[in-house]
Structure 1
């Protein structure tokens, strides 16, 4: 469970990071 939780946390943080970039730089996100 600890490994799966870590992977899930990384996956969520990655999506949040990409979403933040898209919000800050919508033109570069294309």
Structure 2
């Protein structure tokens, strides 16, 4: 997964920003 992708919420996550996608993935798992 390089660049950016849209998650299940349609929120574009910038893979260049680990903190941002960690929040998105972590928030989905908790």
Same fold (TM over 0.5): no
Shorter-chain TM-score bucket reads 0.3 to 0.5
Rg larger in 1 or in 2?
A: 1
TM-score for the superposition, normalised by structure 2: 0.41
Of structures 1 and 2, the one with the larger relative CO (CA 8 A, separation 6+) is 2
Greater share of helix: 1
TM-score for the superposition, normalised by structure 1: 0.41
